[in-house]
Amino acid sequence: MLRSSLLTLTRIGSNRLMSTAAKLTTVEVNDKTGIATLTMCRPPVNGLNLELLKDLSQSIDEIESNKSRGLILTSSNPTIFSAGLDILEMYKPDKERIRAFWTSLQDVWLALYGSSVPTAAAINGHSPAGGCLLATSCEYRVMLPKFTIGLNETQLGIVAPKWFMSSFLSVLPRRIAERALNQGRMFTTEEALQVGLIDEVANTKEEAIEKCSAFIGSFAKVNPLARALTKQQFRAADLQQLENERVQDLEKFLFFVNQPAVQKGLGLYLESLKKKAKN
Ligand SMILES: CCCC/C=C/CC(=O)SCCNC(=O)CCNC(=O)[C@H](O)C(C)(C)COP(=O)(O)OP(=O)(O)OC[C@H]1O[C@@H](n2cnc3c(N)ncnc32)[C@H](O)[C@@H]1OP(=O)(O)O
């Protein structure tokens, strides 16, 4: 059952058709397993802008409240899971919008990392920075070969906030996490498997979703409330830290991102991406 439509067409007046409220996520629930697949669909690269973050929040809430058996996060793009935060939101930002943008990112992380249902990511493409944040907020990761994943923030001259590190540290040993973050290292699928950043490799998106479903299915005989409370106890300190520091975290981000040197760096990085795209 496909719950959210990609595009809503509205008739205005007698014959004008306009597209409105285009959703950037879909939620599909498998009737047999009760597992919801949440797909990001924002071309070209699933850049996390304000609208995609809001749709992600809404979809996660919907999955929580509809008592789905689990959540699988994936992408409609065949080569990109998510390119991370949309740099255009941070470069020469609009004052009000950038506040809403960062607050929405906090909301998504709190909802996904703290979700009461079992979560898994079918990483069917590249997954840098914010893409890696989403994947590591899930409990299990299955990735397709020949892609890359990691927190590359230092390569852009920016700093991953503490809660990005919490997600990373919930998956990787501290020594590996610290070095990778300092280096801004992107891991290939094979390297990610070796260090434990991902749990399995699959050859197709369908196979990745099957493996994620099998992981979620492994809890079938576990009391769901006991499972959820156990997971939340493991993650409580990380979640509480951001809950307690949400405002300071926002102000810190705004201060940092508005530094002339950071703006210059983001501008140059955007330029290099555009140049690369043209060649
Ligand atoms: C200040 C504290 C904040 C700390 C937190 C930051 C977390 C972040 O998430 S920062 C964002 C980090 N993301 C990246 O570094 C990824 C950059 N993108 C890529 O490496 C590649 O685009 C890709 C591997 C994801 C995909 O490569 P592919 O060859 O398929 O596509 P491209 O030709 O490179 O890109 C197509 C198109 O999309 C634009 N674009 C790509 N990534 C972003 C992005 N993150 N934000 C905005 N725009 C992006 C790229 O410029 C191309 O645009 P044009 O078609 O208009 O040229």
Residue 22 banded pLDDT, cuts 50, 70, 90: confident
Which domains are delineated in the chain? 8-278 (3.90.226.10)
Count helices and strands in the chain by DSSP H and E runs: 10, 11
- Residue nearest atom 44 of ligand 1, based on CA coordinates: 86
**Residue with tokens 């610290």, as numbered in its chain:** 178
Q: 126 in ligand 1 pocket by Cβ < 6 Å? A: yes
Q: 277 in ligand 1 pocket by Cβ < 6 Å? A: yes
Q: What is the pTM of this model?
A: 0.93
Residue 262 alpha carbon, nearest atom of ligand 1:
1
Q: Catalytic residue at 62?
A: no
- Residue 23: other Cβ atoms inside 10 A: 19
Q: Which amino acid, one-letter code, is at 145?
A: P
Q: Catalytic residue at 152?
A: yes
Rounded to whole angstroms, the Cα distance separating 269 from 152 reads: 12
Buried b (16+ CB within 10 A) or exposed e, 87-120: bebbbebeeeebeebbbbbbbbbbbbbbbebbbb
Q: What is the pLDDT of residue 191?
A: 98
Rounded to whole angstroms, the Cα distance separating 114 from 163 reads: 12
- Residue nearest atom 28 of ligand 1, based on CA coordinates: 277
Given a cut of 60, is residue 11 above it in pLDDT? no
Rounded to whole angstroms, the Cα distance separating 111 from 235 reads: 12
**C-alpha closest to that of 218 among 139, 149, 109:** 139
**C-alpha closest to that of 216 among 35, 37, 27, 31:** 35
ipTM associated with this complex:
0.98
Given a cut of 60, is residue 41 above it in pLDDT? yes
**Contact assessment for residue 73 and residue 59, using Cβ atoms and an 8 Å cutoff:** no
Pocket perturbation via mutation, ligand 1, pick of 40, 45, 50, 252 by most ligand atoms within 8 A of CB? 45
List phi, psi (to 5°) of 140. -150, 145
**Residue with tokens 């990109």, as numbered in its chain:** 80
Rounded to whole angstroms, the Cα distance separating 35 from 65 reads: 13
Q: What is the pLDDT of residue 212?
A: 98
Q: Which amino acid, one-letter code, is at 46?
A: N
Determine which one of 46, 77, 124, 152 is catalytic: 152
Rounded to whole angstroms, the Cα distance separating 99 from 113 reads: 21
Q: What is the token pair recorded at 202?
A: 């699959």
Residue 148 alpha carbon, nearest atom of ligand 1:
24
Length of the chain equals 279
> Strand 187-188 and strand 148-150: pairing?
antiparallel
Q: Catalytic residue at 130?
A: yes
- Tens digit of each residue's pLDDT (9 = 90 or more) over 123-154: 999 999 999 999 999 999 999 999 999 999 99
The residue ranking higher by pLDDT, 19 or 138, is 138
